[in-house]
């Protein structure tokens, strides 16, 4: 069968590409995982087109891998079995904004910055901020989160309804527009985080928030990681409206200073943001400062205006770049475990110890309110020994997290990189996941090889 010509019967010819550059762009993500070319890239414009492609692929058992902007970090979008890369970039329209319902409906190729730019005109914003300007379809597929999850929740908490095209081409809606429901099974929550293995999202209805009346940010330095985490716990349990609470270790602050020509004390630090009412904010800010002082914070600085605040968060968001840019020939491998809150200080200290032991450089940063931290390990992809040491440390950090009730991935997802930990993490429950997969995708065409081996 001539796959490309068959697809050109189904879709307009210009929406089906085998251009070498296009294939290469769809062979990789932003991770260290080995690229693999798809046989063809298609660019659907409607759910009906997605449905036709899937029904065709299902009939002929051709793999289909959905693709957003390729910002995934565990090889999710790499088509290891070839087949069709389903690029959603032409489905990039914001279909509805309902300010009174705090809801938007978007196509999956809309990116979060594109959405936030539009929402600003309504005094609204979309909360999930994974750093990259990912597509909302991709963010839902991996259950992405980021710095604001401590306040607003993760991607799964924002998705109210999905239009999903199933492997056989059927189109369903999983949810409703009401804020709550105890009706039917929670399919929305099941599809979110399924990484393209259960269906392809063609429409998302998402929760949005009013831009807070008052936003404050601050930076606090601490003598140790433990004291920083303790201060974070006090702030979190005091009813203070924390929107972001990020831990950066000493090495990370050092790199921020190098990259941004700042002179922050080279100590573990918390970067904080608060969203609340103007009336409530003043009292709370004094309170935060005191709670940090009680844990020995030696420098506490408010970033009161928008410009200072932006500078602070840019420094945080650009941390990976700050490392890579100043380390010739190096790339970044990011670990992503998440542990119970009480285990975070120990996990972070263990990570630094392992990196030191294996001669690896890089930063440690944590979403302290979520128990989720990343080791940004610098690796030279052309140095197999260093790559192997980094992989070994990554696996030690996962083992540490799993042995303490944590998970191998807090927000990046499983992709191919974390497949090997699924059995250890879930035990027999893996069989239930597998049976759901086989029920919804009996021919195994949807993103094969991701999350767990099906057969």
410 is an interface residue for a copy of itself by CB under 8 A: yes
Rounded Cα distance between 120 and 126, Å, is: 9
Q: Which two tokens stand for residue 364?
A: 């440690």
432 is an interface residue for a copy of itself by CB under 8 A: yes
Q: Which is nearer to a copy of itself, 248 or 433 (CB)?
A: 433
Among 14, 261, 382, 439, binds a copy of itself (CB under 8 A): 439
- The nearer residue to a copy of itself, 27 or 194, going by C-beta atoms, is 194
**In whole angstroms, how close is the CB of 159 to a copy of itself at the nearest point?**
11
Distance in Å, CB of 352 to a copy of itself, minimum: 20
95 contacts a copy of itself (rule: CB under 8 A): no
Q: Which of 24, 60, 179, 310 binds a copy of itself (CB under 8 A)?
A: 179
Residues 231-290 that bind a copy of itself (CB under 8 A): 233, 237-241, 275-284, 286-287
| DSSP character string of 118-151 | HHHTTTEE-----SS--BHHHHHHHT---TTHHH
- Restricting to residues 336-355, which ones interact with a copy of itself according to CB under 8 A? 338-343
3-class secondary structure, 345: helix
Site for a copy of itself contains 449 (CB under 8 A): no
The answer to whether 294 contacts a copy of itself (rule: CB under 8 A) is no
Residue 242 CB, nearest approach to a copy of itself (Å): 11
Question: Closest approach of Cβ 33 to a copy of itself, in Å?
Answer: 16
Does residue 455 belong to the site contacting a copy of itself (CB under 8 A)? no
Question: What minimum distance in Å lies between the beta carbon of 395 and a copy of itself?
Answer: 15
Q: How far apart, in whole angstroms, are the C-alpha atoms of residue 297 and residue 211?
A: 30
Report whether 413 contacts 193 (CB < 8 A). Answer: yes
Q: Is 187 in the site for a copy of itself (CB under 8 A)?
A: yes
Among 176, 289, 352, 420, binds a copy of itself (CB under 8 A): 176
CA angle centred on 178, ends 175 and 182, rounded to 5°:
65
Site string for a copy of itself, 412-431 (x = CB under 8 A): xxx---x--xx--xxxxxxx
Binning the chain into helix, strand and coil, the percentages to the nearest 5 are 40, 20, 40
How many CB atoms lie under 10 A from the CB of residue 34?
11
Q: Which two tokens stand for residue 341?
A: 């809150």
Per CB under 8 A, does 315 bind a copy of itself? no
Contacts (CB under 8 A) with a copy of itself, residues 202-221 = 210, 212-214
Closest to a copy of itself by CB, 73 vs 78, is 73
Query: Is 156 one of the binding residues for a copy of itself (CB under 8 A)?
Result: yes
DSSP state of 420: G
DSSP state of 401: H
Site for a copy of itself contains 178 (CB under 8 A): yes
Decide whether 338 or 376 has the Cβ nearer to a copy of itself: 338
| 163: Cβ contacts below 8 Å, ≥ 6 apart | 47, 171, 172, 173, 201, 202, 203, 204
- CA distances 73 to 65, 334, 351, 363, Å, are 15, 8, 19, 17
Cα separation, 450 vs 427, whole angstroms:
17
Q: What is the DSSP string of 39-75?
A: SEEE---SHHHHHHHHHHHHHTT--EEEESSS--SSS
Q: What is the dihedral of CA 364, 132, 246, 120, to 10 degrees?
A: 170
* Residue 12: CB atoms within 10 Å: 10
Interface residue with a copy of itself, options 185, 328, 382, 384 (CB under 8 A)? 185
The binder of a copy of itself chosen from 351, 375, 433, 446 (CB under 8 A): 433
By beta-carbon proximity to a copy of itself, the closer residue of 339 and 397 is: 339
Instruction: Report the site for a copy of itself in 356-385 (rule: CB under 8 A).
Output: 367, 369-372
In the complex, minimum distance from the CB of residue 182 to a copy of itself, in angstroms, rounded to a whole number: 4
Which residues inside 104-143 make contact with a copy of itself, applying CB under 8 A? 142-143
- Distances from the Cα of 343 to the Cα of 31, 252, 347, 351, angstroms: 27, 21, 6, 12
Q: How far is the CB of 16 from a copy of itself (least distance, A)?
A: 28
Number of other residues whose CB lies within 10 A of the CB of residue 192: 25
Helix (H, G, I), strand (E, B) or coil at 241: coil
The b-or-e profile of 130-158 (16+ CB within 10 A means b, else e) is bebebbbbbbbbbbbbbbbbbbbebbbbb
Q: How many residues bind a copy of itself (CB under 8 A)?
A: 100
Is 33 or 367 the residue whose CB approaches a copy of itself more closely? 367
Q: Which is nearer to a copy of itself, 242 or 379 (CB)?
A: 242
Judged by CB under 8 A, the chain residues 8 through 67 that form the site for a copy of itself are: none
């Amino acid at each position: 069968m001539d796959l490309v010509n068959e697809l050109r019967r189904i879709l307009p010819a210009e929406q089906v590409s085998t251009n070498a550059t296009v294939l290469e762009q769809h062979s990789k993500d932003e991770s260290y995982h080995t690229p693999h070319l798809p046989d063809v890239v298609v660019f659907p414009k409607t759910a009906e087109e997605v449905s036709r492609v899937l029904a065709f692929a299902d009939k002929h058992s051709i793999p289909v891998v959905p693709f957003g902007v390729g910002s995934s970090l565990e090889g999710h979008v790499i088509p290891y079995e070839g087949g069709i890369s389903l690029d959603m970039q032409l489905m990039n329209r914001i279909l509805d904004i309902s300010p009174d319902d705090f809801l938007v409906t978007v196509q999956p190729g809309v990116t979060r910055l594109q959405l936030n730019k539009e929402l600003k005109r309504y005094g609204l914003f979309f909360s999930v901020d994974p750093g990259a300007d990912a597509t909302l379809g991709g963010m839902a597929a991996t259950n992405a989160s980021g710095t604001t999850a401590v306040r607003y929740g993760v991607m799964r908490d924002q998705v109210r309804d999905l239009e999903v095209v199933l492997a056989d081409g059927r189109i369903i809606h999983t949810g409703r527009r009401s804020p709550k429901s105890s009706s039917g099974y929670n399919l929305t929550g099941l599809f979110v985080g399924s990484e393209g293995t259960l269906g392809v999202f063609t429409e998302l209805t998402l929760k949005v928030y009013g831009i807070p009346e008052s936003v404050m940010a601050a930076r606090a330095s601490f003598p140790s990681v433990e004291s920083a985490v303790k201060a974070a716990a006090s702030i979190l349990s005091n009813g203070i409206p924390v929107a972001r609470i990020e831990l950066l270790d000493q090495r990370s602050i050092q790199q921020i200073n190098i990259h941004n020509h700042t002179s922050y004390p080279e100590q573990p630090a918390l970067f904080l943001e608060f969203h609340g009412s103007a009336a409530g904010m003043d009292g709370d800010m004094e309170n935060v400062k005191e709670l940090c002082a009680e844990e020995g914070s030696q420098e506490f600085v408010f970033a009161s205006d928008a410009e200072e605040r932006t500078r602070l968060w840019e420094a945080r968001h650009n941390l990976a770049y700050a490392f890579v840019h100043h380390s010739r020939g190096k790339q970044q491998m990011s670990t992503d475990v998440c542990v119970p809150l009480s285990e975070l200080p120990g996990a972070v200290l263990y990570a630094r110890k392992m990196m030191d032991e294996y001669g690896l450089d890089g930063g440690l940063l944590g979403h302290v309110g979520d128990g989720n931290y990343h080791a940004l390990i610098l690796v030279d992809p052309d140095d197999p020994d260093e790559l192997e040491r980094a992989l070994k440390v990554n696996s030690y950090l996962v083992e540490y997290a799993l042995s303490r009730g944590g998970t191998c991935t807090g927000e990046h997802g499983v992709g191919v990189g974390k497949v090997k930990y699924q059995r250890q993490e879930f035990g027999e429950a893996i069989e239930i996941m597998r049976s759901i997969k086989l029920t919804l995708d009996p021919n195994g065409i949807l993103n094969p090889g991701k999350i767990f081996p099906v057969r």
